[in-house]
Amino acid sequence: MLAFLARRIAYGLAILAGINLVTFLLFFQVNSPDDMARLQLGGKRVTAQAIQQWKAERGYDRPLYFNEHASGTAKITDTVFFDSSLRMFAFDFGRADSGRDIASEVARRAGPSLALALPVFIAGLGLSITLALGLAFFRGTYLDFWGVTLLVAMMSISALFFIVAGQFVLARVLQLVPISGFDTGLDTWRFLMLPVVVSVIARLGPEARFYRTLFLEEIGKDYVRTARSKGLTEPAVLFRHVLRNALIPILTTSVAFIPLLFMGSLITESFFSIPGLGNYLIEAIGAQDFAIVRAMVFIGSVLYILGLILTDISYSWADPRIRLQ
């Protein structure tokens, strides 16, 4: 187990190193710091001096990979690559191009992101599974048919529509909750209510439909027939046997998404002006702040790899036949 973990983590680090290199090449080689400076300072009438100053303020005027003029280890450490790429492994993201410290900003925004993403994750999973199980129970009936039709229709609707419609109906016409905004403390739930409900509905279509097929597949297996032939009632078969077995793949694949919850949701956060990481990224894209985008790429990848490792662990935990070696 420990050896397996060590190997997975080593592989994860190798992937991270690759991502780091790719993003660095994208942002500094394909696109030179001069281009960035020109874009930030705006337009064509930027003097070479202004560009030089912009680069110097951010340390982009140094050599990319190897500093000949420095001495000792500074030959390596006093470079753009070391400063803006390698330091990320120590979660030192430096400053945004606008000047603010990225790490503290990320730490501050992870809370609101999580406050939105976690309830959506739990409620969405619970509701999808319940709905799917219900449809599987009534399989082959009109209820099942129209339920699936509704789910297909729902997955054909843009998530943006659910947000726009939800804001319009619940917040504007019925005035049940505020349209957007965020607050800490006890008032938080009033602001989170609408985004959570909307996000859960938006992901219900594809998820519930997918889980329904998983349940139906499980129902076709031999042990289910055995359970029925023992004389168990249909609910007993469904809830005691099918649900338990079908939950294994559902939960293990869901585990992969848990770390990514920290990243928040781009669209929902931006529509409801929740000051989370998704919003941070949208602002960074709008302001073309590459330092933030690079940092977010790194954080997102770390969380994704963490999710993969968690999935492997949960597999072996849920199914003793799988051994991690």
Name the residue nearer to other proteins (CB basis): 67 or 284.
284
SS3 category, 24: helix
Tokens of 12: 């994860």
Nearer to other proteins, 22 or 107 (CB): 22
List beta partners, residue 95.
Answer: 101
Q: Give yes or no for residue 312 binding other proteins (CB under 8 A).
A: yes
Q: In whole angstroms, how close is the CB of 163 to other proteins at the nearest point?
A: 9
Q: Is 156 in the site for other proteins (CB under 8 A)?
A: yes
- Greatest pairwise CA separation for the chain in angstroms: 85
- Contact between 155 and other proteins per CB under 8 A: yes
**Helices within the chain (DSSP H only):** 2-24, 33-41, 48-58, 74-77, 80-84, 102-137, 142-155, 159-166, 188-219, 222-229, 234-236, 243-255, 266-271, 277-287, 290-318
66 binding other proteins? (CB under 8 A): no
**Cβ contacts of residue 47 below 8 Å, gap of 6+?**
none
Does 293 help bind other proteins (rule: CB under 8 A)?
A: yes
- Using the rule CB under 8 A, is 64 a contact of other proteins? no
Decide whether 26 or 103 has the Cβ nearer to other proteins: 26
Residue 322 near other proteins by CB under 8 A = yes
End-to-end CA distance of the chain: 6
223 binds other proteins (CB under 8 A): no
What are the Cα distances from residue 252, in Å, to 24, 120, 154, 317, 324? 33, 18, 25, 9, 15
Using CB under 8 A as the binding rule, whether residue 1 contacts other proteins is answered as no
Is position 167 an interface residue for other proteins (rule: CB under 8 A)?
yes
The verdict on 35 binding other proteins (CB under 8 A) reads yes
Q: What is the rounded CA–CA span in Å between residue 155 and residue 207?
A: 9
Residue from the set 98, 104, 158, 184 that interacts with other proteins by CB under 8 A: 158
Q: Should residue 281 be labelled a site residue for other proteins when binding is judged by CB under 8 A?
A: yes
305 binds other proteins, rule: CB under 8 A = yes
Question: Which residues face 101 on adjacent strands?
Answer: 95
152 lies in the site for other proteins, by CB under 8 A:
yes
3-state SS record for 65-132: CCCCCCCCCHHHHCCHHHHHCHHHHHCCCCECCCCCEHHHHHHHHHHHHHHHHHHHHHHHHHHHHHHH
Out of 65, 145, 168, 239, the only residue in the binding site for other proteins (CB under 8 A) is 168
Q: Does residue 228 touch other proteins according to CB under 8 A?
A: no
Q: Half-sphere exposure (CA, 13 Å, Cβ side) for 232? A: 16
Q: How far is the CB of 264 from other proteins (least distance, A)?
A: 11
Residue from the set 194, 227, 261, 297 that interacts with other proteins by CB under 8 A: 297
Closer to other proteins by Cβ: residue 30 or 186: 30
**Which positions lie near other proteins, rule CB under 8 A?**
14-16, 18-19, 22-23, 26-27, 30-31, 35-36, 38-39, 152-153, 155-161, 164, 167-168, 172, 179, 217, 260, 263, 266-267, 270-271, 281-282, 285-286, 288, 290, 293-294, 296-297, 300-301, 304-305, 312, 315-316, 321-325
